[in-house]
Structure 1
Amino acid sequence: MTDVQFARQAWRRLEPLHGMIYFVPEATERYAALGVEGRAGYFASRAAAFGTASAELVIATFYNFHPGLVRRHIPAVWQVTTPEKILGARLEAADAALRRAGIHEIDILDETAELAARAALRACEHPQGRPLFAAHATLPWPSEPLLKLWHAQTLLREFRGDAHVAALLTEGVGPLDALVLHGATGQMPTIFLKFSREWPEEEWEAAAEGMRERGLMDGEELTDEGRALRQRIEDRTDELALPAYAALSDEELARLAEQARVFGRAVVDAGLLTFSG
């Protein structure tokens, strides 16, 4: 049986390798060269795998952004550029940013890329119910190890992300509810969640009051019941992500989890997760 703990570690430790693409100036600059400015770059670059995605499709699959924020950028961005150009710019930006951080010089790159790719390819055998992942799974695989690893982690990230949405829905946790509960954990500043997702303050407070009425929050903090709900959602998400990592033996999965730490730390130490504006 695939080890849930090692699978979670492999994903979490490699996540900065993918996540940096939403922060680095290399991406901002390349999207701007296509005429795509500001938040539109995020929505277009992540949704481009769908083709000319509608606002409704992005709202559904990204899950927790205020619909008005999405509609300000989608589908208008497709009048400015094409999904193919955005995808090309994103891949170029990933390559440039990771090279700036020296990721291409890490001596275990080839092996780590191969292990992550095997997991991602196994995930591709299970697209059902995972629309955002399935869209990304249709994109061509880069051959160079640096981008192969980035693409593999992108797939693993979206595979898990779709599962997380399913777990939230099963537990009756809506888009704004999920943000409120996340903020109450203290793991992410509430002010950042409010800024990045753009839910109006009155709607945020109404959702928080709903969480209190359900016994999930006391004031601004989670109750025992709230913490149990959060843990249940995380545990279920971990379980639903396991089919990908079943491609690896226990020893290989443990090795991927250990090697992932090297790459995640390198990305963080290089400052690639610092918001560039």
Structure 2
Amino acid sequence: MKTARAAWRRLEPVHAMIYFVPEGRRRYADLGLSGRAGYFASRSAAFGRASAELIVSTFYNFNPAFVRRAVDGAWDTATPQQVLDARYAAAGEALRRAGIHELPALDEVLALTRRAAEAACEHMQGRPLFAAHAALPWPEDPVLQLWHAQTLLREFRGDGHVACLLSEDVGGLEALILHAASGEIPADFLKASRAWPDEEWAETEEHLRKRGLLDGDSLSAQGVLLRRHIEDRTDRLALPAYAALGDDGCERLAELASPFGHAVVESGLLKLG
């Protein structure tokens, strides 16, 4: 399980950069989608004309009112196919800017990652965001194939994570607060990016204290155990994809993936801008 998680985490920057790079913002803006409309439309376009309610449900931790404002009129401005085309074009441009296409292990990393992604497609029940992306055709360009494969693995894992949160009665805002309380990411960033008002954030913090999951602004012992349980369970639910590689394949992918993740980070593709 640890090698599978390492394989996913080390390659995850290859997918995650699409939410930060100027190539994406520029191409969405060219379609008339400004601000967060581009984010919500581009990630949900695999569904077709996704409603705000569908996005709230599957993205899980965003303020619903914020989502509704952001996507209002989006599909009257651009079609889902136009948005998907823009997203793939932006991904290819950005990853080439990072030099991904020049890395010597591209073919092997792609083969391993695609094998895992295709294995995940045999387990799509209960994973709506993953399933929507799994229905998209594979690109011809190897760089975009790698991005698509890692996108599938990210959404496969993400849908499983949402299932774990639901099973533990942890709502979207509660999950954000517990994440912030772990010290892994600043609360101010999560408040701003997910658009939760300070008053609602504070009320939910107090609720979590009453549940025994927070001690002040930090996780309580019970909160630490709950987060560890959710993360471990998320890892287990992601295993059907990586089981296709076996332990040796996961170790090999984890080893080869590091230069890809580093190239994305060192090129500044994950910087807020």
The TM-score normalised by the length of structure 1 is 0.97
Stretches of structure 1 lacking an aligned partner (at least 5 in a row): none
Q: Which residue of 2 aligns with 1:63?
A: 60
Q: Which residue of 1 aligns with 2:70?
A: 73
**CA–CA distance in structure 1, aligned partners of residues 249 and 94 of structure 2:** 28
- Among all aligned residue pairs of Structure 1 and Structure 2, give the percentage whose two residues are the same amino acid: 63
Stretches of structure 2 lacking an aligned partner (at least 5 in a row): none
Q: What amino acid is aligned across from residue 218 of structure 1 in structure 2? A: D
Structure 1 runs of 4+ aligned residues shifted over 3 Å read none
Q: What amino acid is aligned across from residue 88 of structure 1 in structure 2? A: D
State the SS of the aligned residue for 1:271. Answer: coil
User: Does residue 268 in structure 1 map to residue 268 in structure 2?
Assistant: no
**CA–CA distance in structure 2, aligned partners of residues 187 and 121 of structure 1:** 31
Which residue of 200, 204, 207 maps to 1:207? 204
Q: Which residue of 2 aligns with 1:86?
A: 83
> Is the contact between residue 132 and residue 162 of structure 1 (CA under 8 Å) also seen in structure 2?
yes
Superposition deviation, residue 142 in structure 1: 1.2
Superposition deviation, residue 249 in structure 1: 2.5
**CA–CA distance in structure 1, aligned partners of residues 87 and 269 of structure 2:** 15
Superposition deviation, residue 75 in structure 1: 4.4
**CA–CA distance in structure 1, aligned partners of residues 139 and 103 of structure 2:** 18
Q: What amino acid is aligned across from residue 254 of structure 2 in structure 1? A: A
Which residue of 106, 109, 114 maps to 1:112? 109
Superposition deviation, residue 73 in structure 1: 2.2
**CA–CA distance in structure 2, aligned partners of residues 180 and 195 of structure 1:** 13
Which residue of 247, 250, 263 maps to 1:250? 247
Q: Which residue of 2 aligns with 1:220?
A: 217
Superposition deviation, residue 257 in structure 1: 1.0
Q: Which residue of 2 aligns with 1:145?
A: 142
1:182-234 deviation digits (Å, cap 9, x = unpaired): 00011111110000001111110011011111111111000111000000000
Q: What amino acid is aligned across from residue 268 of structure 1 in structure 2? A: V
The TM-score normalised by the length of structure 2 is 0.99
**CA–CA distance in structure 2, aligned partners of residues 170 and 99 of structure 1:** 40
> Is the contact between residue 53 and residue 74 of structure 1 (CA under 8 Å) also seen in structure 2?
no
Superposition deviation, residue 252 in structure 1: 1.2
**CA–CA distance in structure 2, aligned partners of residues 88 and 144 of structure 1:** 13
**CA–CA distance in structure 1, aligned partners of residues 176 and 81 of structure 2:** 31
**How many residues are paired up?**
273
Q: Which residue of 2 aligns with 1:46?
A: 43
1:48-69 deviation digits (Å, cap 9, x = unpaired): 0000000110000000000011
> Is the contact between residue 53 and residue 75 of structure 1 (CA under 8 Å) also seen in structure 2?
no
